Structure 1
Amino acid sequence: MRFSAAAAALLSVGAAVAQTTHVVSVGGGGNLSYTPNSLSNVANGDIIQFQFLEKNHTVTQSTFGAPCSNITDASGAVTGVDSGFQFVNTSATQFPVWQITINNASAPLWFYCRQANALANRHCQAGMVFAVNPTAAKTFDMFKSAAALSTAVDGSAASGASTGASGSSAPAAASGTGAAAGTVGTGSAASTPSPSATSAGGAGNGAASMTFSGATILSLVGLSFGLLL
């Protein structure tokens, strides 16, 4: 029984380690862009980690047909995942991190920055959009072109989950169901937990989050090895 429990724990940790983490820079260098701005061949269980650089940006879920509008339900409630605004000073040495875990890789996901601090400075229309697993029928370039023509101005707060993604904001390093936020040193993928707003998750969303701090992940790995000894 003890061996079975140890084996199960190790397999669980091993599955998490096997996930691929795709790192995306948000802004930086005065650019209104995500780098890279599109990811293909992202698999179920993969993590997409957004590292926010200087200025004030979001990663907000939208749709192919409405690139610069967050997703809402019939009542108008926001149901797409959203990192919230992450302000980073130009002199910062610690950077917020927010990430999602993909749970439906068969469907493309679409995101944009909802910063619109002036009529002529709408980040989405300026090309700050991002795609996961775009298709031949719905390409990233088509999505970006549609964003440039959009008249939407969406700077309101958003949270929750929707078709394609779901999440809750909190410390960095996540897996299982959605998103996370925290701070991370330059070039690091781990983070120090920091308070942040949370949003309700939903089912069948393509991406989801469960958050762990870097210390928690190390504890889990240590536990798995301890069970084997």
Structure 2
Amino acid sequence: MLISTALATTVNVNVGVDGTGKQAFTFDPASVVAQNGDDVVFSFKLPDSVTNPSAIPHTVTQSSFDKPCSQLAGGFDTGLSPVATDGKTFTLHINDTKPAWYFCAVHCQAGMVFAVNAPETGNTFANFQTAARNAASIDYTPSAAPSNSQSPAPSDGGSQPSTPSPTATKDQTGGGGYGGGYGGGPGGAASVVGTGAGVVAAAAAIVFWAL
């Protein structure tokens, strides 16, 4: 009997660094395609090419298409972590090919969002990002540790359920505290609601104070 087995692959995503290797309010890449068994690895590590690095805090937090800046109950969350030369990495293990949506709880309203298997029409990544930029607030409760739910709750509001199984693995400890900001970035601190919102609001204020 001939058995065909697809090999799992690793999809690497840089957090807070753009395609040119500069710090920015973005994921690179911001939208990926992944199959069952694949791993999406989020890196908070800054490349050596970054000059005058700032330990800007970010999160990778699961949401829904209809509520891009609102944390999905039971969903994947890295917790608040700064980017640094010795920053952390987190692994999201994919066990479903349905679309899944994520945001940074500090910079969602600046368009810092991410998608796995976003449709090419209808609920596209571009529409998701536009909705994030237009969000009135960010709804997020900081996690003491990354979520490890095997079945995140389906998204509400008619959006498609997302069911990747998050397995978050910290490879290295993060370095440095929060401070500084990205020159030329969007102005205005994020409006954050939810339990523990003061932690994120304070982080947002630190990020934006110099802009």
The answer to whether the superposition gives a TM-score over 0.5 is yes
State whether residues 93 and 165 of structure 2, in contact with CA within 8 Å, keep that contact through their aligned partners in structure 1: no
Where does 1:163-178 land on structure 2 (aligned, <5 Å)? 163=154, 164-167=163-166, 178=167
State whether residues 37 and 131 of structure 1, in contact with CA within 8 Å, keep that contact through their aligned partners in structure 2: yes
CA distance in 2, matches of 1:183, 1:19: 23
Q: Quick check: 1:156 aligned with 2:130?
A: no
The residue number in structure 1 matching 2:130 is 145
The residue number in structure 2 matching 1:99 is 91
| Structure (1/2) with the larger helix percentage | 1
CA drift of 1:155 comes to 4.2
User: 1:48 is matched by which residue type in structure 2?
Assistant: V
The residue number in structure 2 matching 1:114 is 105
User: 2:28 is matched by which residue type in structure 1?
Assistant: T
State whether residues 109 and 132 of structure 1, in contact with CA within 8 Å, keep that contact through their aligned partners in structure 2: yes
CA distance in 2, matches of 1:98, 1:126: 22
The residue number in structure 2 matching 1:81 is 76
Output the TM-score relative to the length of structure 2.
Answer: 0.62
The residue number in structure 2 matching 1:19 is 8
Where does 1:206-225 land on structure 2 (aligned, <5 Å)? none
State whether residues 108 and 138 of structure 2, in contact with CA within 8 Å, keep that contact through their aligned partners in structure 1: no
The alignment partner of 1:130 has SS state of strand
User: 2:76 is matched by which residue type in structure 1?
Assistant: V
The residue number in structure 2 matching 1:6 is none
The alignment partner of 2:93 has SS state of strand
The structure that has the greater radius of gyration is: 1
CA spacing shift, 1:26–1:86, aligned 2, 3 Å: same
User: 2:23 is matched by which residue type in structure 1?
Assistant: G
Residues 138-163 of structure 1: CA distance to partner in whole angstroms, max 9, x if unpaired?
10000001101111223421445314
Structure 1 gaps, min length 5: 1-14, 73-78, 116-122, 168-177, 185-229
The residue number in structure 2 matching 1:70 is 71
Q: Quick check: 1:52 aligned with 2:44?
A: yes
User: 2:8 is matched by which residue type in structure 1?
Assistant: Q
CA distance in 2, matches of 1:160, 1:99: 11
Where does 1:168-207 land on structure 2 (aligned, <5 Å)? 178-183=167-172
The residue number in structure 2 matching 1:209 is none
CA distance in 2, matches of 1:66, 1:125: 12
User: 2:10 is matched by which residue type in structure 1?
Assistant: T
The residue number in structure 2 matching 1:134 is 118
CA drift of 1:80 comes to 1.1
Output the TM-score relative to the length of structure 1.
Answer: 0.57
CA spacing shift, 1:64–1:127, aligned 2, 3 Å: same
Structure 2 gaps, min length 5: 46-54, 155-162, 174-211
Residues 16-46 of structure 1: CA distance to partner in whole angstroms, max 9, x if unpaired?
9x31100000003330000000012x11001
